[in-house]
Structures are given as structure tokens and as C-alpha cells.
Structure 1
Amino acid sequence: MTARAIRIIGFDPGLRRTGWGIVESDGVRLVYVASGVITPPKDDDLAYRLSALFDAVTSVIQSFSPSEAAVEETFVNENPRSTLKLGQARGAILLAPARLGLRVAEYTPNLIKKSVTGTGHAEKQQIQAMISFLLPKATFDSADEADALAIAITHAHHRSSRQRLATVAAKVAGT
């Protein structure tokens, strides 16, 4: 990678399993760096599980020093209780990179699928196949890791557009 390459970490939030994946992008090429899954203790009370999740996310970020982070947005489940717990897990995951000074972007599940596979309703197997194609050196053992890498790739593809929009908005606000 060139000196202009940026390291991006993606997170696929979950209270039981949170996938994380790191890529480097120079605007043209993507390079796999690392990926894994965080599994907070399932028998602890919610507050301690969230604390363990926050600490593990913080540790991964400190170990790999990404420049930016991306997190999948919450989709509403049929079970409102599960949706609320997922939202709390997302809160812990969003807080960790923000506390470490990283810019944090959020992407919808359909945008992530469309960015990686070309369709917004792709199946898990399609995402995993495309991750293997886009990042041939990637080694991942779960859909959570593949999804996290897809989130990082989505951010790599969309970050320049977000930056241009922010620049235009700043100019408009300054006039």
C-alpha cells in the first residue's frame, strides 16, 4: 500500500458475537489486514456484557490503529427486546472508536450488501464469496467476520463521497 492508504475497521454489531474486520485502502486497491469475532460472556448481566464488549472493541482498535471506523446500522427485528439489546451493543461499539478519536460512519445492511455484491438483498454466502474475491488473502471463520469486512469495504468505497459532501456543506455554511 502507498503512504496515502487508510486503515479502516468495520464492525458487525451483536451482543453475543461482534465481528470486526480491517482493510487498508488507497482509493483503488483493498488489502486485508485482520479480522475476528468478539464474544462477551453470555452468562453475565447486560451491563457487564456491554462493558466487556466496549473493552474488547477498544483493545482491537488500539492493537491495529485504524484511522476510521464503520458500523452497521440496526435493523428492527420482530422481537423488540432483541432490537433494544442490539441497539445497546451498537452503542458500546460506536462509543469505543469515538472515544479514541476515530471518525465513525454508519451504513444500512442493504447498502453494505449492494456495495459488496451489487444487490441489496444478498445472502450471507454471496457476501462471503465476494469478500473472498475482493480480499483473496482474507481468512475468516464466520459470517460475522465476513460481514465486518464488507462494512469496512463499504466505507472504503463511500468515504470519498462523504468527504466531498462535508466539504461542500462547510463551504455553504461559511457563505
Structure 2
Amino acid sequence: MRILGIDPGYAILGWGILDMKGNHFSVVDYGAVTTDAKMEMPVRLQHLYTQLTAIIEQYQPEEAAIEELFFNNNAKTAIMVGQARGVAVLACVNGGLEISEYTPLQIKQALVGYGRADKKQVQAMVKAVLNLSEVPKPDDTADAVAAAICHGHSAGNRVRKLLKAK
């Protein structure tokens, strides 16, 4: 299964593509789509959509894991991130991907085993699980890869439950 992980943002949208065979992950690619703060918001959203659509077309993932928004004290920022998240969902739906959404707590639980783990612990697990020489940068990219790993573990659990039910 090929998984696209996404950490949505309007300034930086992190993404990661992983292949999962059995319970083993391999890295296909990862990176970030960035927008300039001087750009008007509609143009930023268009750029995010265009770039994410190109990534989907290039790597042909089967499923997407998108990090859900957490509560933000700044309503304006939360709305803008929500718009970027909507663009990411749209790109995935238009690309024919099955989408799963995970809270930051679920992602931390899946990677570290503790829902209140800090960012460094999650990054260390991303590095270890994927046998990388360094943590993906920027942090948004590492978060996207973590979402993909979380989804892979969840997908494996779904398959095991289906097999047991038969």
C-alpha cells in the first residue's frame, strides 16, 4: 500500500509518501510545499492545491492520512489552516484517494505509545521506524511522515480485524 501523509498548513504543507508491505515501511519521498507570506490567500491555496495534485499524480498513492486540526487560540490562524486543510482534502479526493484523518494525539500514540509525547520523541520514532540517517525537515514534513506511519499501523489493524471476522 502506498500512503500519502499530509500535515496541512498554509505557509508550509508537509507531505510524505511511504510504501507499506506487511508491517514494513519504506520511504518513497517527502518534502514540503511552501507559500510566500506576501501572496494573497486565494493564490496560496491555489499553489498548495496545484503542488499537492502534482505530487499525487507523480507518486500515485492509494490512501491519504491527514492530520486533523487541533484547537488554536488564534481564530484567524485556525481558519486559514482549515482552508489549507480543505484544499488538501480536495486534492486527495480528486486524486481518487481514500482519506483517513488522525488527531495529533492519535499520531503520537501510534508512534511513541503515549498521546502526550513531545515533538522530539515523535521525530525520533519517525527516524527509527524508517531507518533514516536524520529526521525529515522541516518539522511539518516529519509530522506528515508520522501521519503516514500512523495510518499504516491503523490500516494493518483494520486488515487483521477483517481477517479475524472471517
Aligned partner letter, 2:52: V
- Local SS of the residue matching 1:22: strand
Match of 1:113 among 91, 108, 116: 108
Computed over aligned residues only, the root mean square deviation of the Cα atoms, in angstroms, reads 1.8
Aligned partner letter, 1:52: H
Distance in 2 of aligned mates of 1:16 and 1:47: 13
Match of 2:149 among 149, 153, 160: 153
Can you give the 5+ residue segments of structure 2 that lack an aligned partner in the other structure? none
8 A Cα contact 1:18 1:38, kept in partner: yes
- Local SS of the residue matching 2:29: strand
CA deviation after TM superposition for structure 1 residue 124, in Å? 1.2
Can you give the 5+ residue segments of structure 1 that lack an aligned partner in the other structure? 1-5, 167-175
Given the two structures, how large is their TM-score scaled by the length of structure 1? 0.86
4+ aligned runs moved over 2 Å, structure 1: 160-166
- Local SS of the residue matching 1:120: coil
CA deviation after TM superposition for structure 1 residue 141, in Å? 2.1
Given the alignment of the two structures, is residue 122 of structure 1 paired with residue 117 of structure 2, yes or no? yes
> Quick one: percent identity of the two aligned structures?
39
Structure exhibiting the larger radius of gyration computed from Cα positions: 1
8 A Cα contact 2:23 2:156, kept in partner: no
1:8-53 Cα deviation digits (max 9, x unpaired): 0100011111110111111311111111011023211111111111
